[in-house]
Protein backbone atom coordinates (compact mmCIF):
# COMPACT_ATOMS: atom_id res chain seq x y z
CA UNK A 1 0.00 0.00 0.00
CA UNK A 2 1.31 3.46 -0.90
CA UNK A 3 1.21 5.97 1.95
CA UNK A 4 -0.01 9.34 0.70
CA UNK A 5 1.48 12.56 2.02
CA UNK A 6 -0.09 14.99 -0.50
CA UNK A 7 3.36 16.08 -1.66
CA UNK A 8 4.62 16.98 1.81
CA UNK A 9 7.97 15.44 2.69
CA UNK A 10 8.38 13.03 5.57
CA UNK A 11 11.03 15.36 7.04
CA UNK A 12 8.53 18.22 7.09
CA UNK A 13 5.88 16.06 8.79
CA UNK A 14 8.44 14.99 11.37
CA UNK A 15 9.31 18.64 12.04
CA UNK A 16 5.63 19.59 12.43
CA UNK A 17 4.98 16.78 14.88
CA UNK A 18 8.26 17.32 16.76
CA UNK A 19 7.29 20.94 17.42
CA UNK A 20 4.16 19.68 19.15
CA UNK A 21 5.24 16.59 21.08
CA UNK A 22 9.04 16.46 20.89
CA UNK A 23 11.25 14.68 18.39
CA UNK A 24 11.58 11.34 20.17
CA UNK A 25 7.82 10.94 20.55
CA UNK A 26 7.28 12.22 17.02
CA UNK A 27 9.54 9.56 15.52
CA UNK A 28 7.69 6.79 17.38
CA UNK A 29 4.22 8.10 16.59
CA UNK A 30 4.98 8.62 12.91
CA UNK A 31 6.11 5.00 12.75
CA UNK A 32 2.84 3.85 14.31
CA UNK A 33 0.84 6.02 11.92
CA UNK A 34 2.66 4.54 8.93
CA UNK A 35 2.13 1.01 10.22
CA UNK A 36 -1.58 1.66 10.69
CA UNK A 37 -1.91 2.98 7.14
CA UNK A 38 0.04 0.04 5.75
CA UNK A 39 -2.25 -2.43 7.52
CA UNK A 40 -5.38 -0.60 6.39
CA UNK A 41 -7.45 1.52 8.70
CA UNK A 42 -9.79 -0.26 11.13
CA UNK A 43 -13.29 -0.85 9.87
CA UNK A 44 -15.85 1.89 10.61
CA UNK A 45 -13.17 4.60 10.45
CA UNK A 46 -12.51 6.91 7.51
CA UNK A 47 -9.20 6.51 5.69
CA UNK A 48 -6.67 9.28 6.18
CA UNK A 49 -3.33 10.09 4.66
CA UNK A 50 -0.23 10.59 6.77
CA UNK A 51 -0.31 14.37 6.51
CA UNK A 52 -3.88 14.57 7.81
CA UNK A 53 -2.98 12.28 10.71
CA UNK A 54 0.05 14.39 11.63
CA UNK A 55 -1.90 17.65 11.58
CA UNK A 56 -4.63 16.17 13.79
CA UNK A 57 -2.00 14.99 16.26
CA UNK A 58 -0.17 18.34 16.18
CA UNK A 59 -3.43 20.01 17.23
CA UNK A 60 -3.48 17.84 20.36
CA UNK A 61 -5.87 15.05 19.38
CA UNK A 62 -4.97 11.80 21.18
CA UNK A 63 -3.04 9.37 19.01
CA UNK A 64 -5.49 6.56 19.83
CA UNK A 65 -8.38 8.44 18.23
CA UNK A 66 -6.30 9.01 15.12
CA UNK A 67 -5.16 5.37 14.84
CA UNK A 68 -8.64 4.15 15.75
CA UNK A 69 -7.53 1.41 18.12
CA UNK A 70 -5.98 0.85 21.54
CA UNK A 71 -4.40 -2.40 22.79
CA UNK A 72 -5.99 -3.69 26.00
CA UNK A 73 -4.42 -6.91 27.17
CA UNK A 74 -4.57 -9.30 24.20
CA UNK A 75 -7.47 -7.32 22.71
CA UNK A 76 -7.18 -4.53 20.18
CA UNK A 77 -10.13 -2.29 20.95
CA UNK A 78 -11.75 0.26 18.70
CA UNK A 79 -11.63 3.82 20.06
CA UNK A 80 -13.29 6.99 18.83
CA UNK A 81 -14.20 10.37 20.31
CA UNK A 82 -15.67 11.27 22.68
CA UNK A 83 -15.59 7.88 24.46
CA UNK A 84 -12.89 7.53 27.12
CA UNK A 85 -9.71 5.87 25.86
CA UNK A 86 -8.84 2.70 27.86
CA UNK A 87 -5.83 3.28 30.10
CA UNK A 88 -2.94 0.90 30.91
CA UNK A 89 -3.69 1.02 34.64
CA UNK A 90 -7.22 -0.23 33.94
CA UNK A 91 -5.79 -3.02 31.80
CA UNK A 92 -3.45 -4.00 34.63
CA UNK A 93 -6.08 -4.47 37.33
CA UNK A 94 -8.55 -6.13 34.99
CA UNK A 95 -5.99 -8.79 34.16
CA UNK A 96 -5.18 -9.13 37.87
CA UNK A 97 -8.90 -9.63 38.53
CA UNK A 98 -9.02 -12.57 36.11
CA UNK A 99 -6.44 -14.31 38.27
CA UNK A 100 -8.22 -13.37 41.50
CA UNK A 101 -11.51 -14.99 40.45
CA UNK A 102 -11.75 -18.33 38.63
CA UNK A 103 -15.23 -18.88 37.15
CA UNK A 104 -16.05 -22.06 35.25
CA UNK A 105 -18.98 -23.15 33.07
CA UNK A 106 -20.23 -25.13 36.08
CA UNK A 107 -19.80 -22.12 38.37
CA UNK A 108 -20.34 -19.09 36.10
CA UNK A 109 -20.24 -15.48 37.25
CA UNK A 110 -22.56 -12.60 36.49
CA UNK A 111 -20.70 -9.30 35.99
CA UNK A 112 -22.02 -5.72 36.01
CA UNK A 113 -19.68 -3.03 34.71
CA UNK A 114 -20.86 0.48 35.57
CA UNK A 115 -19.80 3.42 33.38
CA UNK A 116 -18.54 0.86 30.88
CA UNK A 117 -17.35 3.28 28.16
CA UNK A 118 -15.70 1.24 25.40
CA UNK A 119 -16.61 -1.98 27.22
CA UNK A 120 -12.93 -2.67 27.85
CA UNK A 121 -13.27 -4.22 31.33
CA UNK A 122 -16.10 -6.74 30.71
CA UNK A 123 -14.81 -7.60 27.23
CA UNK A 124 -11.37 -8.48 28.58
CA UNK A 125 -12.95 -10.56 31.34
CA UNK A 126 -15.07 -12.38 28.76
CA UNK A 127 -12.01 -12.95 26.60
CA UNK A 128 -9.76 -14.32 29.36
CA UNK A 129 -12.21 -16.42 31.37
CA UNK A 130 -13.28 -19.87 30.09
CA UNK A 131 -16.14 -19.98 27.52
CA UNK A 132 -19.52 -20.32 29.17
CA UNK A 133 -18.28 -18.98 32.51
CA UNK A 134 -19.23 -15.30 32.21
CA UNK A 135 -22.39 -13.28 31.66
CA UNK A 136 -21.38 -9.62 31.59
CA UNK A 137 -23.46 -6.46 31.42
CA UNK A 138 -22.13 -2.99 30.63
CA UNK A 139 -24.00 0.20 31.50
CA UNK A 140 -23.27 3.75 30.42
CA UNK A 141 -25.22 7.00 30.19
CA UNK A 142 -23.69 7.77 26.79
CA UNK A 143 -25.26 6.27 23.63
CA UNK A 144 -21.91 6.88 21.90
CA UNK A 145 -20.17 4.72 24.49
CA UNK A 146 -22.70 1.91 24.26
CA UNK A 147 -22.49 1.85 20.47
CA UNK A 148 -18.71 1.63 20.72
CA UNK A 149 -18.99 -1.14 23.32
CA UNK A 150 -21.25 -3.07 20.92
CA UNK A 151 -18.80 -2.53 18.05
CA UNK A 152 -15.98 -3.75 20.26
CA UNK A 153 -17.92 -6.86 21.21
CA UNK A 154 -18.24 -7.65 17.50
CA UNK A 155 -14.59 -6.81 16.88
CA UNK A 156 -13.46 -9.07 19.76
CA UNK A 157 -15.78 -11.93 18.86
CA UNK A 158 -17.76 -11.70 22.12
CA UNK A 159 -21.43 -12.50 21.41
CA UNK A 160 -24.24 -10.31 22.69
CA UNK A 161 -26.85 -13.05 22.27
CA UNK A 162 -27.97 -14.27 25.70
CA UNK A 163 -29.09 -17.59 24.20
CA UNK A 164 -25.40 -18.51 23.82
CA UNK A 165 -24.57 -18.00 27.50
CA UNK A 166 -24.22 -21.74 28.21
CA UNK A 167 -21.52 -22.29 25.61
CA UNK A 168 -19.89 -18.86 25.28
CA UNK A 169 -19.24 -15.80 27.38
CA UNK A 170 -21.78 -13.08 26.62
CA UNK A 171 -21.62 -9.29 26.93
CA UNK A 172 -24.78 -7.15 27.01
CA UNK A 173 -24.22 -3.36 26.87
CA UNK A 174 -27.10 -0.91 27.31
CA UNK A 175 -27.79 2.76 27.99
CA UNK A 176 -28.83 3.68 31.53
CA UNK A 177 -28.16 6.33 34.17
CA UNK A 178 -26.90 4.68 37.35
CA UNK A 179 -28.05 7.74 39.32
CA UNK A 180 -31.67 7.30 38.25
CA UNK A 181 -34.07 5.76 40.76
CA UNK A 182 -35.38 3.46 38.03
CA UNK A 183 -31.92 2.03 37.33
CA UNK A 184 -32.52 -0.92 39.65
CA UNK A 185 -35.38 -2.01 37.41
CA UNK A 186 -32.95 -2.63 34.53
CA UNK A 187 -30.71 -5.00 36.48
CA UNK A 188 -30.52 -8.79 36.30
CA UNK A 189 -29.94 -9.34 40.00
CA UNK A 190 -27.89 -10.53 41.77
CA UNK A 191 -24.32 -10.06 40.50
CA UNK A 192 -21.21 -11.93 41.55
CA UNK A 193 -18.95 -9.08 40.48
CA UNK A 194 -19.48 -5.35 40.04
CA UNK A 195 -16.69 -3.41 38.35
CA UNK A 196 -16.28 0.22 37.42
CA UNK A 197 -13.82 2.88 36.36
CA UNK A 198 -16.22 5.73 37.13
CA UNK A 199 -15.75 9.46 36.55
CA UNK A 200 -13.65 10.63 39.50
CA UNK A 201 -11.88 13.90 38.70
CA UNK A 202 -12.81 16.93 40.86
CA UNK A 203 -13.74 20.05 38.89
CA UNK A 204 -10.65 21.99 40.01
CA UNK A 205 -8.40 19.23 38.63
CA UNK A 206 -10.47 18.82 35.47
CA UNK A 207 -9.97 22.47 34.61
CA UNK A 208 -6.20 21.88 34.71
CA UNK A 209 -6.17 18.74 32.56
CA UNK A 210 -4.03 18.65 29.44
CA UNK A 211 -6.01 19.85 26.38
CA UNK A 212 -5.47 16.45 24.68
CA UNK A 213 -7.75 15.00 27.37
CA UNK A 214 -10.10 17.87 28.20
CA UNK A 215 -10.78 18.91 24.62
CA UNK A 216 -11.51 15.45 23.22
CA UNK A 217 -12.80 12.99 25.82
CA UNK A 218 -16.35 13.21 27.12
CA UNK A 219 -16.44 15.29 30.34
CA UNK A 220 -19.17 12.96 31.61
CA UNK A 221 -16.56 10.18 31.67
CA UNK A 222 -14.09 12.32 33.63
CA UNK A 223 -15.89 14.70 36.01
CA UNK A 224 -16.59 12.93 39.29
CA UNK A 225 -19.35 15.30 40.37
CA UNK A 226 -22.27 15.86 37.97
CA UNK A 227 -23.58 19.45 37.85
CA UNK A 228 -26.68 18.54 39.85
CA UNK A 229 -24.74 17.24 42.87
CA UNK A 230 -23.47 19.22 45.85
CA UNK A 231 -20.20 17.28 46.19
CA UNK A 232 -16.99 18.81 44.89
CA UNK A 233 -14.52 16.07 45.80
CA UNK A 234 -14.91 13.92 42.68
CA UNK A 235 -16.40 11.02 44.64
CA UNK A 236 -20.10 11.28 43.78
CA UNK A 237 -20.16 8.14 41.66
CA UNK A 238 -18.57 6.06 44.41
CA UNK A 239 -21.40 7.15 46.69
CA UNK A 240 -23.95 6.17 44.02
CA UNK A 241 -22.29 2.77 43.66
CA UNK A 242 -22.10 2.28 47.44
CA UNK A 243 -25.82 2.97 47.68
CA UNK A 244 -26.45 0.44 44.94
CA UNK A 245 -24.41 -2.36 46.52
CA UNK A 246 -25.86 -1.64 49.97
CA UNK A 247 -29.13 -3.15 48.78
CA UNK A 248 -29.07 -6.82 49.70
CA UNK A 249 -30.37 -8.12 46.38
CA UNK A 250 -27.63 -6.44 44.31
CA UNK A 251 -24.72 -8.75 45.16
CA UNK A 252 -24.68 -12.51 45.56
CA UNK A 253 -23.27 -13.96 48.80
CA UNK A 254 -19.52 -13.21 48.85
CA UNK A 255 -20.04 -10.92 45.85
CA UNK A 256 -17.08 -8.75 44.90
CA UNK A 257 -16.79 -5.06 43.99
CA UNK A 258 -13.76 -3.67 42.13
CA UNK A 259 -13.56 0.11 41.64
CA UNK A 260 -10.75 2.05 40.00
CA UNK A 261 -9.91 5.29 41.81
CA UNK A 262 -7.99 8.47 41.15
CA UNK A 263 -4.90 9.77 42.93
CA UNK A 264 -5.36 10.02 46.69
CA UNK A 265 -8.90 8.62 46.63
CA UNK A 266 -8.42 4.96 47.58
CA UNK A 267 -8.74 5.21 51.36
CA UNK A 268 -11.75 7.52 51.17
CA UNK A 269 -13.50 5.21 48.68
CA UNK A 270 -12.65 2.27 50.92
CA UNK A 271 -14.41 4.07 53.77
CA UNK A 272 -17.43 4.91 51.57
CA UNK A 273 -17.84 1.24 50.62
CA UNK A 274 -17.63 0.16 54.24
CA UNK A 275 -19.90 2.80 55.76
CA UNK A 276 -22.39 3.41 52.94
CA UNK A 277 -22.11 0.15 51.04
CA UNK A 278 -21.98 -2.21 54.00
CA UNK A 279 -18.92 -4.00 52.60
CA UNK A 280 -17.30 -6.14 55.31
CA UNK A 281 -13.88 -6.74 53.74
CA UNK A 282 -11.90 -4.24 51.68
CA UNK A 283 -8.45 -4.08 50.16
CA UNK A 284 -6.47 -1.68 47.97
CA UNK A 285 -4.49 -2.78 44.90
CA UNK A 286 -1.52 -0.86 43.58
CA UNK A 287 -0.89 -0.24 39.90
CA UNK A 288 2.48 -1.01 38.23
CA UNK A 289 3.70 2.49 39.14
CA UNK A 290 3.04 2.02 42.86
CA UNK A 291 -0.13 4.13 43.02
CA UNK A 292 -3.21 3.06 44.96
CA UNK A 293 -5.46 2.29 42.01
CA UNK A 294 -8.29 -0.13 42.86
CA UNK A 295 -10.51 -0.69 45.88
CA UNK A 296 -11.67 -4.30 46.24
CA UNK A 297 -14.61 -5.03 48.54
CA UNK A 298 -16.64 -8.11 49.51
CA UNK A 299 -20.26 -8.15 50.58
Question: In this predicted model, what pLDDT tens digit does every residue of 62-93 receive, in sequence order?
Answer: 999 999 999 999 999 999 999 999 999 999 99
Q: Which domain holds residue 25?
A: 10-59
**Whether residue 278 is found in the same domain as residue 147:** yes
Query: Across the chain, which distance is largest between two alpha carbons, in Å?
Result: 65
Please write the tens of the pLDDT for every residue from 178-189: 999 899 999 999
C-alpha distance from residue 16 to each of 66, 126, 276 (Å): 16, 41, 52
Residue 64 lies in a domain: no
**Whether residue 99 is found in the same domain as residue 199:** yes
Residue 65 lies in a domain: no
**Whether residue 159 is found in the same domain as residue 268:** yes
**Whether residue 132 is found in the same domain as residue 198:** yes
**Whether residue 178 is found in the same domain as residue 268:** yes
CB 166 within 8 A of CB 132: yes
Residue 68 lies in a domain: no
Please write the tens of the pLDDT for every residue from 21-65: 999 999 999 999 998 888 877 665 666 789 999 999 999 999 999
Give this prediction's pTM.
Answer: 0.94
Task: Report the run of H or E that residue 135 belongs to, with start and end.
Answer: strand 134-140
Amino acid sequence: MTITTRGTSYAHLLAVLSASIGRQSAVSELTWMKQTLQKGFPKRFPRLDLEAMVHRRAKGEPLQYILGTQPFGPLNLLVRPPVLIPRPETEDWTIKLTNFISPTPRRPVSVLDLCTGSGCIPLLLCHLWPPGSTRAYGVDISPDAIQLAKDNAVECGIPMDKALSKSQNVFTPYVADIRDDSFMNTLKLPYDLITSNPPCIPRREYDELHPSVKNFEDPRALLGDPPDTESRDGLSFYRFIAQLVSQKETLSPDGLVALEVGEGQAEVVQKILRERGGMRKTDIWLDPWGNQRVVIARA
